[in-house]
Structures are given as structure tokens and as C-alpha cells.
Amino acid sequence: MLYRLKDAGYQAFLVGGSVRDLLLGIRPKDFDVATDALPEEVRRLFRNCRLIGRRFRLAHVHYGDEIIEVATFRAAAAPPEVDDEDHREIDDARVHDDSGRILRDNVYGSIEGDVWRRDFTCNALYYNIADFSVWDYVDGAADVHARVMRLIGDPETRYREDPVRMLRAARFAAKLGFTMHPETRAPMDELASLLGGVPAARLFDESTKLFLGGHGLASLESLIDFGLLAHLLPDTADELARDPSGPAAKLLRLGLAGTDARVASDRGVTPTFLFAVLLFGPIQRLALAKIANGTPESHAWSDATDEVLSTQVRRVAIPKRFTLPLRELLVLQPRFERRDGRRSLALLQHPRFRAAYDFMLLRAEAGMIPAEVATWWTEIQTVPAEERHERLAQLAQVAPAEGGEPGDTPDGAGRPRRRRRRRRPGGGGGSDAPSA
């Protein structure tokens, strides 16, 4: 790939995280390439290439399921005086908004300019394919060895240009265990609120990198430490502030640690489960408040989920394909605790059972529900279908309190009663009927 660029007469450098990670002895997550070839020229060279991005135009070269990101050198802050070739449209010039945010950065240049618009010194090392040398204009190698995150240039200006750099700082600090250079850390407190002006779709992408990249728990701690969490996940930050070591905080940390473990062992992770973990605290708080005000349990959970999600998605654009299953997963939760009729076994057949069950295990681990409930649901899955009703019946005899009234349970003949369960007025619980 690099050689094809070189052989076509272009400069080709490996840059960014891959060079940094190789210096640190970590396996790079992906490879970024910098070149003096224009995006169109890259596309002409590689059949398997797509041009993406408007704010920042890039070529994506596909190799199987791997993507190599090829960026054309950008000019340094001041656009070069003569840079008006026909194919560089006026539209492509670098555009700022009032807060200094760069809206578009497509003014092409040379490597000497390119280096200054990279974010951190550790990300600005160039590995030249032509002679295997590392080009280091900003003492990046020294910072990598000292394990320091340092922004290139004036930190305040650089955060204003792109506030997402604050989140990137938190992410790299978490992933690499680097410390922040004091001057790189200092402007954050004042500038964190600029994250409010970043498009919600970009914040979704960045959130998945923060939390699903294998260092989610450490990312959370960095975000808290840097005062950024409240600008990304305000309700979550609020919940943690109210009860820093309560069950919701525990669930959040256990959930992120579990996600990290899955990433480490190459098991799949989904934004659905992630955001359920991130938002469960605030959703539960709201649902319980609604129940206390007389809303039936089932409505309380779905309403609380909808309310918390609708505020959250305005800031972080979680796509519907994740929020819809998230809602289902959470709304099923009360059914695990209510093992008292044929509906409880139907839960096993629910298309969201697996995710809902995993989430229930997490709640048990966080001490939100009895461990015995988790064990029961784990075991029932190993029991042949014919015996499951018997299990329900046994449960009713052993622990009548949980299933409601003793007389209100399966009759012990291996079949649940068919009659509908009635609740005492004001009993709340799982009744779908509207309550007073």
C-alpha cells in the first residue's frame, strides 16, 4: 500500500497512532497514512478506495475488513499564498466558526505544514517508507518515552479549533496511561463547554471510541478527572455526583470493566449494551420517582427510558438501531424479578432475552437485585423445557413472598394456572392496569 504510493512518485508516511503504538510496543489498532498525493490521486491509484468526509476529506483504502486511512498533507495554520489550482475548489478552504472551531480543513500542503495541525506530539511522528526513518518535528518521540500527552502549539487555540481534542486527550491518556502535560490540561476546565457545539453524530463516534475501544473504564475515569463527562453524558455525570459509590456507579464501572474484558478477548460489544450501562443510573432514578408518584411499573420504565434517551441523543446522536433495542432491554428488567406466572417463562423466548439477561446479571453483581434471582435465571436455561414449569412451582413453595401470594402461584401440577393474576389495589408491582 505504502509502496504503491511511493512507486507512483508520491511521498508516503505511516503516521499517527500506529507509529506511536509501535514505539510503545503496542499492536496498532489501525494504520494511518499521510501523503502528498491528493485524495483524487489516491483514488486513481487504488481500486478499493472511497473518499469520505467533508470537514476533513480523506481516502479510505479497503483491504478485506481493514481500512487504511490516507490523508493528504494539510497546510499549516496560515494557508499558503499560492494555492489556487483549479481542482482545489474555493469551497475546500479552511473555514472557522465564531468560537475558532475549524469547520473545514482541506487546504493541502507539505509535510512541514501537516505536522503542525496534528493534535498531540505523540501522534505527530512520521515513518518514511522510502528509507524507514522517523521524522519528528515536535519532539514527539521524547514525549512518547516520557509518556506525556502534549498538544502541539497553543493549547487553548487548538482546543477551540476542535473541542473533540479534549475527548481525544482523555481517550489517549486512558489507553496509553500517559499523563497530561500541565499546559495541555490547564485550558480544559474553561473550554469543556465548547463540546456543546460539536455535532452530535461526531460525539457518538467519539463515545464509541472512548468506551468500546478496550479502555472504557479508564476513559470514564479520565473524563471525570478532566471535567468532560458532564458535557458528554450529563445525566450520567449527575448520577455519579449524587451517589459516587452507590449501586448505579457500581453497575457503571462493572459494566465498563466487562466491556473491556470482552474487547480484550475479541468478543463482540455493542453500543446498545454500552449506553444501557451508561444511562441505567439516571433511567432508574427517574423510573423509581415515577413509580413513587403512582405510574405503573411497566410504563414508568419505558417513559423514563424515553425521557433520558431523548435528552441524551440531542448531545450524542445514538442511532435508532441502538436505542430501540436498548429500550427493550431495559423495559424487560422488572420481569426477571417477577417469576410468578407463565409470562415469566415466556421471557426466555423473547428476542432480547440474551442482552436483557446479561444486563440483569450486571444488576445482580452491582447488588441491585438478589444474587439468587440471577442464579435462578442462569439455571433455568439449562433445564429441559418440560421441567421449567416445575421450577416455577418449586419457587412458589420455597419463596412465596417473591412471587406474590402463595395461593397466587402455579398449582404444583407442573402447569401454571391459566387465570390472570389479580393484584390488590395499590399493590403496584407489575400490573399493566392504570393505577390511581
- Active site residues per annotation: 30, 32, 119
Nearer residue to ligand ATP within complex by CB, 30 or 387: 30
Q: State phi, psi for 180 to the nearest 5 degrees.
A: -85, 135
Q: Which residues of 112-137 are buried (b: 16+ CB within 10 A; e: fewer)?
A: ebbbbbbbbbbbbbbbbbeeeeebbb
Q: How far apart are CA 159 and CA 184, in angstroms?
A: 9
For the packed helices 200-212 and 247-264, what is the interaxial angle rounded to 10 degrees?
A: 80
Q: Look at residue 119 and give the partner it binds from ligand ATP, Mg ion, none, a contact being a CB closer than 5 to 8 Å depending on partner kind.
A: ligand ATP
Smallest distance, Å, CB 32 to ligand ATP? 4
Of 16-24, 358-366, 375-383, 419-427, the segment contacting Mg ion by CB under 5 A is 16-24
Q: Least separation, in Å, of the C-beta of 59 and ligand ATP?
A: 13
Pick from 38, 107, 164, 167 the residue near ligand ATP by CB under 6 A. 164
- State yes or no: residue 235 binds ligand ATP (CB under 6 A): no
Candidates 7, 30, 190, 379; binder of Mg ion (CB under 5 A) is 30
Q: Which does 74 bind (CB under 5 to 8 A by kind): Mg ion, ligand ATP, none?
A: none
For the bound state, the minimum distance from the C-beta of residue 354 to Mg ion, rounded and expressed in Å, comes to 32
Out of 57, 74, 118, 335, the residue judged to bind ligand ATP by CB under 6 A: 118
Is residue 30 a contact point for ligand ATP (CB under 6 A)? Answer: yes
Binding status of residue 17 toward Mg ion by CB under 5 A? yes
Q: Does residue 208 contact residue 219 with C-beta atoms inside 8 Å?
A: no
Task: Tell me: does residue 32 bind Mg ion (CB under 5 A).
Answer: yes
> 1-20 mask for ligand ATP (x: CB under 6 A)?
---------------xx---
Stretch that binds ligand ATP, among 117-125, 289-297, 353-361, 385-393 (CB under 6 A): 117-125
Number of residues that bind ligand ATP (CB under 6 A): 12
Binding residue for ligand ATP, selected from 3, 7, 29, 415, defined by CB under 6 A: 29
Q: Going by C-beta distance under 8 Å and a sequence separation of 6 or more, which residues neighbour residue 161?
A: 96, 100, 101, 102
* Residue 191: CB minimum distance to ligand ATP, A: 14
Q: Which is nearer to Mg ion, 58 or 93 (CB)?
A: 58
Residue 57 near ligand ATP by CB under 6 A: no
Binding residue (CB under 6 A) for ligand ATP from 5, 13, 14, 32? 32
Site membership for Mg ion, residue 161 (CB under 5 A): no
Our finding on whether 124 is near ligand ATP (CB under 6 A) is yes
Conformational region of residue 271, where left means phi above 0, alpha means psi within -120 to 50, and beta covers everything else: alpha
Give the range of 27-35, 186-194, 222-230, 305-313 binding ligand ATP by CB under 6 A.
27-35
Cα–Cα distance for residue pair 185/43, rounded to 1 Å: 39
Least distance in Å: CB of 26 to ligand ATP?
9
- For residue 115, the minimal CB distance to ligand ATP (Å) is 9
Cβ contacts of 380 within 8 Å, gap of 6 or more: 345, 348, 388, 391
In the bound state with ligand ATP, the residue whose beta carbon lies nearer, of 37 and 124, is 124
Q: Which of ligand ATP, Mg ion, none does residue 403 bind (CB under 5 to 8 Å by kind)? A: none
With a CB cutoff of 8 Å and minimum separation 6, the contacts of 284 are 248, 304
CB of 387 to ligand ATP, least distance (A): 49
Using CB under 5 A, list all residues that contact Mg ion: 16-17, 30, 32
Contact set with ligand ATP (CB under 6 A): 16-17, 29-30, 32, 118-119, 123-124, 162, 164-165
